[in-house]
Amino acid sequence: MSETLAASMTFDLPEELQMLREAAEQFAERVVAPTAADRDREHRFPEVEFKRAGEAGFTGVLVPEAYGGSGMGNLANVILVEEISRACASVGVTLSVHNSLVTSPVKRHGTEEQKQAYLPRLATGEWLGAYALSEAGAGSDAAALTCKAVPDGDDWILNGPKLWITSGTHANLVVVFARAPEGVTAFLVESTSDGFSVGKVEQKVGIRSSSTVEILLDDVRVPGNRVLGVVGKGLSVAFDTLDGGRVGIAAQAIGIARAAFDASRKYASEREQFGKPISRFQGIQWKLARMSTDIEAAQLLTYRAAALRDEDRPHTLQASQAKLFASTMANRVADEAVQIHGGAGYTTEFPVERYFRDARITEIYEGTTEVQHLVIARQILGR
């Protein structure tokens, strides 16, 4: 993506990105949407849908061509996650975590040996990735983590629980952050390792087709060549990765909001009260106008942050701004969607109740709304 595009924000997207959007939209309609409601109700992981996404090339958009991906970049990933999330936010976040929080740090911080070992399998969707930073006492305060990494010869022994791990039930490769004697360090841990197990499975309000679990590490032996980045410098890996992850969650939030808006516009045009469609009433019109405007604003913020990351320019501020605005916007839009639907919106007969539930998490994971305020304030004040 050119520097001119990131700076001007005209966003006449290149043809390859327009084609990707069309492909993602068709995939969402044909593969993801038909199973979304059932998977949500049954709390069923989108295993089939993820494999199909891999076959479509969606799991390799951040992986260079040399390792089996398309190397299309972060703006491509944003477009992809946005379109998929319109159909199902659970599949959207599964792809976002896989791409933004796993393939991206391996590409950006991994050794050549690590890239050759993992990127081809991640690019095709043969392997699914997960990201393990949070703990019971280290949520927003990532530096407070207590999971331990102790050296043992050329290897490391990892011990401790990790919480809120998206896709933890099905992941093959997990980026784990643990405290070594030199400081927090990132490790590439295969889920088949002895001592690696899944603990508590969270029962969530929304994104119920995405698994969120506790990961237990009990004397897990990790070879020294699976340290991601530099020993003791894991937080720099974590924060760089989260910049990309926040852009991905902003895209998920936009997708949810677009789905809620589309459903509201359709319902308002069909639902009649006092002898005419409710879309003829100014109160409804103004709701739709604000919803549409907020979605457009969130898209521009998010696309700009993604373009800056593709150009390897500073983007921590822009990533947090995009995540803050898009996530709060998605919750406003989903709330208005339920209101426009009235009593019908509070039933499972219409999908807006699912959008309402799914939107809420976007203000919590990949950094809460409060954390985004802190990050933005520090960036603009130079602290």
In angstroms, rounded to a whole number, what is the distance separating the alpha carbons of residues 153 and 217? 19
Q: Are 338 and 330 in contact (CB under 8 A)?
A: no
Q: Which residue bears the tokens 């740090």? A: 105
In angstroms, rounded to a whole number, what is the distance separating the alpha carbons of residues 210 and 49? 12
Q: Are 376 and 320 in contact (CB under 8 A)?
A: yes
Paired with 185 in beta bridges are 178
Structure tokens at 28: 């969402």
Please give the torsion angle defined by the CA atoms of residues 54, 1, 330 and 99, in that order, rounded to the nearest 10 degrees. 30
Q: Which amino acid is at 33?
A: A
Active site residues: 366
DSSP tag of 369: H
Q: Which residue bears the tokens 């603009």? A: 380
Q: Are 306 and 75 in contact (CB under 8 A)?
A: yes
Q: Are 50 and 128 in contact (CB under 8 A)?
A: yes
Buried b / exposed e across 203-236, counting CB within 10 Å, b at 16+? ebebbbbbbbbbbbbeebebeeebbbbebebbbe
Structure tokens at 88: 């199902």
In angstroms, rounded to a whole number, what is the distance separating the alpha carbons of residues 146 and 138? 8
Q: Decide the pairing of beta strands 173-180 and 129-132.
A: parallel
Q: Decide the pairing of beta strands 276-277 and 155-166.
A: unpaired
Structure tokens at 182: 């030199």
